[in-house]
Amino acid sequence: MRISYVIIVLALLGFSDLATAQQDTLATATVDVHTAAQEESGDEGSEGGFKPGEMILHHVSDWHSIHFIGHLSMPLPVILYTDQGLDVFMSSVFWDENHETTKEYTSPATGNTYVLHHEKIAFAGAHDHGSHEVAEANGHAAADHGPMLLDFSITKSVFGMLVIMILMVLLFTRVAARYRKGVSAPKGAQGLLEPLILFVRDEVAVPSIGAKKADKFMPFLLTVFFFIWMCNLLGLIPFAGGFNITGTLSITAVLATFVFIITTINGNGHYWGHILWPPGVPLPIKFILVPIEIIGIFIKPLILMVRLTANITAGHILILAFVSLVIMFGQSSAVAGYGVGVGAVVFMILMFFIELLVAFLQAYVFTLLAALYFGDATHEVHHH
């Protein structure tokens, strides 16, 4: 089954995703800190108390730190490349005593001053290095004058993804070593993974692609299945940081892009013939059908990306909405809080177990659809 190939594909998947998710080119990002501070203070003054929308968005969005409970948070590395060089520091430099991201930070290496505003790192000001002038335009970027800023920071989703990648490499390396030794009775990690590996092969790859060609795509299919499944499970661990890895659009976009690339590269003449010039179709209809088929090539991976992101994020939002409901009723009345809380907790427990099933189903559906696309691209025409 060439299980060791999974490690190679996983590395390509992870590094490509890291580059795609974090190369946020803010070539013109210069923020007016005073305006941002006024906006934040104005919002706080106009609307006091608990804000469920902000709480939910905080947990499902990607952040430069991992929040566990209360004020317990873990800062993550910030890696910035500017015209003046490379800046590396921890995101905690932006925190005040309440762990609010309101502070500016001036790098001793480059002299640039940064601010973390709505989880986007931008210039709050910079030293004049001769050829660059810092443009400030009421908190908006100046399109042609701002200095370059490339953000390669390790955010919460990237950190969680790296943890899953390391765990997968360790597990699969151990399982592969036992197979090389000829151990027939599976136990431990091998006993856990082998039924799932056989399930992906026998129930997903072989029926969708065919027994002769399934082994060629098994490393990628196994990688995608276990990566998505384990990322989903990580996001369901209580007080573990609220990871929403596969609910991050940039990560699912990379997974879908890999499916698109593999399908395109392995498409045979029969596959491309039915797309570019469908046989047996009248000529006028071909001019309508061919553009639709070409658009469908790009729509398929787009559906994969949106489906996975939406389903995983929706589950997190639903659970957090009931948490918010309990808090809101509890603020108005202790009796109402306890009354709503009992029903909400029961529902949240039920939703948690449903989410465990969804975590597996979404990994299965993504892998199955990818296998179907591969099978469609490599299908050979049979003549009777």
- Beta carbons of 80 and 114 less than 8 angstroms apart: yes
Give the per-residue pLDDT at 238. Answer: 78
Average pLDDT over residues 164-190: 82
Distance CA 170, CA 318 (A): 33
Sign, Cα dihedral of 257, 260, 263, 264: negative
- pLDDT of 58: 67
* Band of pLDDT at residue 209, cut at 50, 70 and 90: very high
pLDDT of residue 368: 95
Task: Name the least confident of 61-70, 104-113, 279-288, 295-304.
Answer: 61-70
pLDDT at 139: 38
In the predicted model, is pLDDT for residue 382 greater than 70?
no
Between these two residues, 211 and 137, which has the higher pLDDT value?
A: 211
Digit-coded pLDDT (tens) for 18-45: 433 333 433 333 334 334 333 444 444 3
pLDDT of the residue at 125: 60
CB atoms within 10 A of CB 19: 12
Q: Which tokens hold the place of 331?
A: 């603020």
> What is the pLDDT at residue 141?
40
Question: With DSSP H G I counted as helix, E B as strand and the rest as coil, what are the percentages for the chain, rounded to 5?
Answer: 60, 10, 30
Please state, rounded to an integer, the average pLDDT across all residues of the chain.
77
The whole-number pLDDT of residue 299 equals 92
- pLDDT in the model for residue 326: 75
pLDDT 10s digits, 273-294: 888 888 888 888 888 999 999 9
Of 155, 109, 143, 144, whose CA–CA distance to 129 is shortest? 109
**114 neighbors 20 (Cβ within 8 angstroms):** no
Q: Looking at residue 17, what is its pLDDT? A: 42
Give the tens place of pLDDT for each residue, 184-200. Answer: 667 777 788 888 999 99
Residue 105 has pLDDT above 80, yes or no: yes
Give the Cα separation of 115 and 81 in Å (integer): 15
Residue 62 has pLDDT above 70, yes or no: yes
Whether residue 249 is predicted with pLDDT greater than 60 in this model: the reply is yes
Confidence of residue 264 (pLDDT cuts 50, 70, 90): very high
How many angstroms separate the CA atoms of 2 and 230, rounded?
A: 21
pLDDT of 374 above 90? yes
What does the pLDDT average to over 289-301? 91
pLDDT tens sequence across 224-237: 999 999 999 998 88
**How high is the pLDDT of residue 99?**
59
Q: Decide if pLDDT at 2 tops 60.
A: no
Q: What mean pLDDT is predicted for residues 351-377?
A: 92
Query: Of 66-75, 96-105, 129-138, which gets the smallest average pLDDT?
Result: 129-138
Q: Write out the two tokens for 135.
A: 């443009």
